[in-house]
Structure 1
Amino acid sequence: METTKVNAAFLCNYEVMQILQQLKDSTQKKHKREGSLATVTYETVHYLQDTECKKQNAQSIQKFLEAMKKFKLTKTEKLMMVNTPPRTELEIQLIVQESEERLSEDEVRKVIELVNEFLPPSEVS
């Protein structure tokens, strides 16, 4: 397999889950289920439904990203926060490169507040 467009777009887990659910629904309706594609689609959707993206929606993600504009974070760092919302300072340090230099303690606390406001934790972790 050959990659035609490297980094054409970044998708968060919520977007991947939505696309795969639509794909799964459309292949079920047509009764043209490719064995390996159906398995990969099913397994991926099953996995994603047990992650944080299960409780997310497009509006909450958009509002979160809008609120995050005031912080100087990369697209990848914001994507990682959407996929695995940080609930502690340590998790922010793991996501944000050189976080000690780039974010103050107050900014770290504000990021955690924004995460909890727009990307509430799910019961399943």
Structure 2
Amino acid sequence: MKIIEAKAGALTNFEVLDLLRSRGATSDPLGALGAVTPSECQVFDYLVQTAACNQTRESIDEFSRRSGKYKLSKAEKLNIVNIRPSSQPEIFPIIEDCENRGLEPVLEELVNMVVEILPPRPTKPGEEEDNLQGTEDQKTMEVN
């Protein structure tokens, strides 16, 4: 890997994943045939389990454009894209001094925009079954 411009800015997880894919990274360190280091394969393994796996440049650009009205810092936008919060309790700690900046009343709107624009992380095998079982248990409890 060669640094072209030092301190050009922080990268989203999607951009790192995209770079690793372009270099031939896979979950199998031997499958890359020396094109990437074992540590890069470990980073790849981690990132394919996050929301970055399903993101596109278009979705990130749209989020960046539409989030302009909230006057978020670059770091806050980066963290929102990387973490992809889907509720107010998840997004609240990402936004610094939320109460004093007057963003607390529009947090639900911001969360809805994030959920609408940025795709969720991939589900792990068995995770979807757990979610369905939890929903069925909750319905059973409501009926009783």
Q: Do both proteins adopt the same fold according to a TM-score greater than 0.5, normalized to the shorter chain?
A: yes
Could you say which structure has the greater relative contact order, defined with CA pairs below 8 angstroms and 6 or more residues apart? 1
TM-score (norm 2): 0.71
Residue identity in the other structure for 1:44? V
Q: CA separation in 1, counterparts of 2:52 and 2:102?
A: 26
Poorly superposed stretches of 4+, deviation over 2 Å: 103-106, 122-125
1:121 positional shift? 1.7
Q: Which amino acid aligns with 1:67?
A: R
How far 1:75 moved relative to its partner?
Answer: 0.1
Change (3 A) 1:52 1:79: same
Contact 1:92–1:99 (Cα < 8 Å) also in 2: no
Give the deviation of 1:66 after TM superposition: 0.5
1:44 and 2:43 matched: yes
Q: Which residue of 2 aligns with 1:74?
A: 73
Q: Percent identity?
A: 29
Q: How far did 1:9 drift?
A: 1.6
Query: Which residue number corresponds to residue 20 of structure 1?
Result: 20
- Which amino acid in the other structure matches residue 10 of structure 1? A
Q: Would the aligned equivalents of 1:63 and 1:118 in 2 still touch at CA under 8 Å?
A: yes
Q: CA deviation at 1:71?
A: 0.7
Amino acid at match of 1:14: F
Distance 2:116 2:93 in 1: 21
The amino acid across from 1:90 in the alignment is P
2:129 corresponds to = none
Name whichever structure is richer in helix by fraction: 1
Which residue is equivalent to 1:60? 59
Alpha-carbon distance, 1:10 to partner: 1.4
Q: Judge conservation of contact 2:98–2:104 (CA < 8 Å) in 1.
A: no
1 CA distance for matches of 2:104 and 2:88? 9
Counterpart residue identity of residue 39, structure 1: P
Matched-pair contact (CA < 8 Å) for 1:24–1:38: no
Give the Å deviation of 1:79: 0.2
Tell me the alpha carbon deviations over residues 55-113 of structure 1, each in whole angstroms, 9 at most, x when there is no partner. 11110111111000001110000000000011121222210111112244441011101
Q: Which moved more, 1:89-98 or 1:74-83?
A: 89-98
Normalising by structure 1, we get a TM-score of 0.81
Q: Which residue of 2 aligns with 1:109?
A: 108
